[in-house]
Amino acid sequence: MTESNNERITTTTIITKTAKIDHPINELIARRWSARAFSTKPVEKSKLLSILEAARWAPSSRNEQPWRYIVFTNENPEKLKKAQSVLKDINEYAKRAPILICAIARKTYSDNKNYNRLHFHDLGAANENMFLEAFNQGLIMHEMGGFGSIQYT
């Protein structure tokens, strides 16, 4: 690929798509979709912070807020590269993204250490808030389950 081609790809056109809804819903929810075509342009830190802020305000069982995020950006290219390296081939497209976020959930309640059977459910809620906020910030996010979780050591 030539340098100029590469530059053309990095323009930040975002394809919009609205859900074909049967009943009216909030625009934010209707407009979110899981695009795969990423610009490599860095994301402003303020936008990233807003996205993470949105996750904080999801509901959770006993307000445990079991979600944790590891954020990989170009601030540390080496770690970003390492994170990209564990993506499965099917998620090759995500190697272009300027940010990778690894979402994790704490399995036990902080106070009594009992198993929190809702931890993964609540992580899903927080993640959805992030996806919606990313759209609100004019960005796109795409979730992936396909990565080698043992590879990254």
List contacts with a copy of itself (CB under 8 A): 19, 21-26, 28-30, 32, 34, 46, 49-50, 52-54, 56-59, 61, 117-118, 120-129, 131-133, 136, 143, 145
Full DSSP string of 99-118: -EEEEEE--B-TTT--B-TT
In the bound state with a copy of itself, the residue whose beta carbon lies nearer, of 31 and 79, is 31
* Minimum distance from residue 10 beta carbon to a copy of itself (Å): 25
* Minimum distance from residue 44 beta carbon to a copy of itself (Å): 11
* Minimum distance from residue 79 beta carbon to a copy of itself (Å): 23
Q: Please, what's the b/e burial string for 59-93 (b: 16 or more CB within 10 A of its CB; e: otherwise)? A: ebeeebbbbeeebbbeeeeebbeebbebbeeebee
* Minimum distance from residue 126 beta carbon to a copy of itself (Å): 8
Helix 45-56, helix 119-136: angle, nearest 10: 140
In the bound state with a copy of itself, the residue whose beta carbon lies nearer, of 59 and 77, is 59
* Token pair belonging to 10: 């990095």
Contact indicator for 38, 11 with CB cutoff of 8 Å: no
In the bound state with a copy of itself, the residue whose beta carbon lies nearer, of 72 and 131, is 131
